[in-house]
Amino acid sequence: MEDLPDALIGEIVKRVSSTSDLSSLSLVSKRLYKIEAESRHTIHIGCSLRPATDAIVSLCSRFHNLLKVDINYSGWTQDHGNQLDNHGLRILSSYCLSLSDITLSFCSYIDDTGLGYLAFCKKLITLRLNSATKITSSGLLAVAVGCKNLSALHLIDCNKISGAFEWLKYLGSDGSLEELKVKNCVGINQYSLLMFGPGWMKLQRFVFEFRNIYSIFEPKDPSYVANCQYRYDFSCENLKQLSLRRIVTVEEIGLRSLLGKCKSLEKLCLHFVLGLTDSDMITLAQNCSNLRSISLQLEPVFCEGPEGRVCRTPLTDESLKALAGCRMLQVVELTMFGCDYAYPEIGFTQEGLMMFFQSCPIRDLVLCGANIFDDEGMKALSSAQFLQTLELMDCVYITDAGMCLLADSPSLVNLTLRQSDGFSDVGVGEVVRARKLDSLIVEGCSRVSQKAVLGTAKSVRYERYYPGYGKLRRSSLSFGQD
């Protein structure tokens, strides 16, 4: 070890990911203590940092090459002592001049003054604010003006951000933002985000979500003129990833207008977007030839049909026909939420779904709540040439006969079955005997036993109950998760 140069040892140290291992390594010798300090680029700070101010001085003095700092006070109580405050953030920004990535989560002692100190971090690229209860638009404006290289901004549960949104206008006109995520911020509505203006041209990833209920009573678009042909004049041709959840739209007003402008779009999540229509999907398919992934989560709404007003999921086979023309579409989620077996209706038909599955080179498919899909539909899935990963959830009319068809699926290696009681050990057993699965997950399927699935794939998970739809995390489908 003594013969190795410091630079080589530093490269070895960088490959050690465990914080406890790094701490132990630094105690071996003064040389390793110094090298480890110079090589440390990331630290995580939380409730155990006591006293906070003294500890941050010590950390910044030792790790002066820090690039990424994650400050998270989730679960903090008064018994933990004082949190890191504005003064602590000033120390951090003064000592660590190379900081490029900062996350502040549940930091209730930090307000706009503290956030303003981050303007000294001239190399800051990514800023994440999660449950930052004292941060307002003024603090964000200070960061926007001072951090010229800021390219990613995440705002989650930051409910004091409202008002004039000068920070958003500034980032749009003079900033270099490529990623913007706004989740559950009650003071920011979709029309506020339109103030981003020319910034939309640079943006590549955009997320706008509300957690539970629709933001029905949000302010109307102040620039909208009734009875006039209407278009937003901004362009977002570089946008590659778009996620919208729990927003209310009407034709050509608000963020729904993005669907006709994103010619480079590759990944799309539309979850419970009120006002979504077949026309939107047709426009999308016509303009987004690079679309590779789509996640649609739909629930019943009142729609006008040939026989009058009906309650159903908003999209029909017309949307599936349009999306079938997306020849690069490989990852698909179709979730129909809150549809009973008889009523309300699902806008798709089984024939439409079968046509869609056979037309696109789908590699990864999630089908949830499809009570119109039965063993006949499984014929289309079993013959899908490229299908490698399949999840079936709450598809109550699929029986053992339909499951047995999957035994002939040419490429299937990952299978997930959730909350479906139509099939049993017989059908699942036929699949696992015929296919050499990499992974098998069975959750909440009352007629499938643990004995039938254990040891049948390289990775097996069996749960008698499934965790609930809201707790599922599908990494291949969602990019808006933090």
pLDDT at 343: 72
Cβ contact 243:206 at 8 Å? yes
In angstroms, the CA 171 to CA 164 distance is 13
Tokens 């990911």 belong to 17
Tokens 């699902």 belong to 346
In angstroms, the CA 241 to CA 293 distance is 9
DSSP-assigned letters across all residues of 126-163: EEEEES-TT--HHHHHHHHHH-TT--EEEEES-TT--T
Pairing of strands 301-305, 308-312: antiparallel
Q: How many CA atoms lie within 13 A of 196 on its CB side?
A: 26
Q: What is the DSSP letter of 374?
A: B
Taking the chain (482 residues) in runs of 10, the rounded mean pLDDT of each run is 68 68 66 70 88 88 90 94 94 93 97 96 97 96 95 97 91 93 91 86 94 57 52 79 87 71 93 90 93 95 80 94 96 92 85 96 96 95 96 95 95 96 96 95 96 95 82 59 61
State which fold the 363-481 domain adopts. 3.80.10
- Residue 444's CB is within 10 A of a number of other CB atoms, namely 18
Residue 193 Cα distances to 190, 198, 228, 268, 274, angstroms: 5, 12, 22, 18, 18
Please report, in angstroms and rounded to a whole number, the separation of the first and last CA atoms in the chain. Answer: 40
pLDDT at 234: 73
State in words which class domain 1-39 has: mainly alpha
User: 291 by DSSP, 3-state: which?
Assistant: coil
Do the domains spanning 1-39 and 363-481 agree at the CATH topology level? no
pLDDT at 274: 87
Residue 446 Cα distances to 285, 397, 422, 462, angstroms: 39, 14, 9, 11
The structure's pTM equals 0.89
In angstroms, the CA 142 to CA 145 distance is 5
pLDDT at 411: 96
pLDDT at 256: 73
In angstroms, the CA 185 to CA 260 distance is 26
Cis ω for the linkage preceding 51 (within 30 of 0): yes
Domains of the chain by residue range: 1-39, 363-481
Q: Would you call 470 exposed, middle or buried from its count of C-beta atoms within 10 A (0-12, 13-18, 19+)?
A: exposed
Q: What is the DSSP letter of 315?
A: -
Cβ contact 84:43 at 8 Å? no
